[in-house]
A and B are shown apart, each in its own frame.
Chain A
């Protein structure tokens, strides 16, 4: 299995004496996958993504993008990465067209026609300044820039956070289409589990700076079931207990011969977060902050 993004015993602490933002995380994200990076606030999602872009220096271990350590050879790592930050981070003084020119200035291989076409399909005018765009449009410009780099790795740091449901769906649709078309690898962090369920094929759950779950979504669905708390679990083990939407107590169960109904992705995440005892959680489709 070719690996696009790797983490080897990664640890990050912002200051000596402070808790670890990331601790002992090992990862190997295969080429061509779209991985959902899920966890509550403070789980280490942004820290991990920023580490891959060379924005954060690991305190322990190392990160690799296509085998390149971004902290040792940031230039080479950056060339392999398209990054969409949490906030669109556009220059409000510049037009959309200027942003594409800026991207082309830094990345000679930037596919400006493709980026323009994507934006035209979304009816985003090129000649307006960034601060005239809605939040959703700004996110789409950010995505168009990241996709235009033709980078083999896409890192998306909660780009859906400020978008309405329709804009989220549109954003994911474009992202998934582009990734499938180019064979790129994507790592998408998000609070919104229901939205990424359709888009991603892998699930990576972080909690309290540690990796709680890392496997394909198909495998996750196949190996997890949900029962009412206290109900017999068959041969499975209880991963974690969490409240259901009506306040009932549910248990996430994993393993061979497990009883209960199939678990949704949201329940799998909630169960593992509960097991990690990282934060209070609620079953509302979002991991509680």
Chain B
């Protein structure tokens, strides 16, 4: 891989690359500014833990104002960009050459199509992963500011929509686009099919991973009833004073509201939460990134195999 290869790959896809790099950069800056603005309100843990300072109300107004308007808007756009970047760079990477027929020239010159493929794909993978990671880290920072009490390195808040997982998902979308583009050889159909399959694949993968995580969850007793801050919450139940366990439906059936009582669990009951501890976030994140990396390698392998066997369009 030489500078010429990188320059060539860039020139062939400069519009989508420049467009997304500019957008991601702008949104990243916006996310960091929003995070700094949230921090600057001074609305921190001391305003929640009962030892409120006199300024907490004003700080809270400023904080919640940002947290409910500007922050979700920046987060909502920035979280989608890496995925779209992956699709819009990945699908045309090979498909455009097949559609325009430039692959005929390139493949008649290149003794190894695999090398040609690498020269096309590697710069795409690097630029999409790098900028998606920048976006993911900016979102880490933004979510940390939105939830100042939570240690984002040990929290499932925004899982999949921040950090390295976001970059892995964008890279998976790119790899899928490369494979589909190699098979279809047409840019627009490849873009549409990639967007649909990547979305379904990521959503399906998240669903399966969620089920897997649910099987790893444990019951804990916490004041909040939903686990500690940063835990991944699945379910809640009530442990009565005699040690028996009930769901909330069972509790309200057994202890209905009456004129004399508002119903609910009897005194001495405790709420238990089914959670995956936030301390497992790093491991779970690594596992999802590993799975996405594996899927990406398989998709890129399919692309390489197809390029090696197919007609040049």
**In whole Å, how far is A152's beta carbon from the nearest beta carbon of chain B?**
15
Q: Count the A-B residue pairs with Cβ separation under 8 angstroms: how many? A: 72
Chain A residues, Cβ within 8 Å of B5: 105
Q: Is B12 an interface residue (CB 8 A)?
A: yes
Give the CA-CA distance A105 to B118 in the complex, in Å.
14
CB within 8 A of A145: which of B12, B109, B112?
B109
**Of B12, B14, B101, B111, the contact of A85 (CB 8 Å cutoff):** B101
Also in contact, A78 and B111, with CB within 8 A (given A55-B311, A91-B12): yes
Whether B108 pairs with A90 at a CB distance below 8 angstroms is no
A98 located at the interface, meaning its Cβ lies under 8 Å from any Cβ of chain B in the complex? yes
Docked pose: A141 CA to B7 CA in angstroms: 21
Evaluate contact between A85 and B108: CB separation under 8 angstroms: yes
Which residues of the partner chain A approach B103 to less than 8 Å between Cβ atoms? 89
How many residues of B are in contact with the other chain, CB < 8 A?
A: 24
In Å, the complex CA distance between A111 and B166 comes to 46
Q: Indicate whether B4 reaches chain A with its CB closer than 8 angstroms.
A: yes
B312 at the interface (CB under 8 A from A): yes
B14 with A93: CB separation less than 8 A: yes
- Partner pick for B4 among A53, A74, A85, A101, CB 8 A cutoff: A101
Q: How far is the CA of A83 from the CA of B116 in the complex (A)?
A: 17
Q: Which of B99-135 contact A (CB under 8 A)?
A: 100-113, 116
Residues of chain B touching chain A, judged by Cβ–Cβ distance below 8 Å, are 2, 4-5, 8, 11-12, 14, 100-113, 116, 311-312
Some 24 contacts from A to B, beta carbons below 8 A apart, are A54-B107, A74-B111, A75-B112, A76-B111, A78-B107, A78-B108, A78-B109, A83-B108, A85-B101, A85-B104, A85-B105, A87-B104, A88-B105, A91-B105, A93-B11, A93-B12, A106-B109, A106-B110, A106-B111, A106-B116, A107-B109, A142-B105, A145-B109, A149-B109
Closest 4 CB pairs of A and B: A83-B108, A75-B111, A106-B109, A89-B105
4 more A-B residue pairs beyond the given contacts A78-B107, A85-B104, A93-B12, with a C-beta to C-beta distance below 8 A: A55-B108, A87-B101, A94-B8, A98-B8
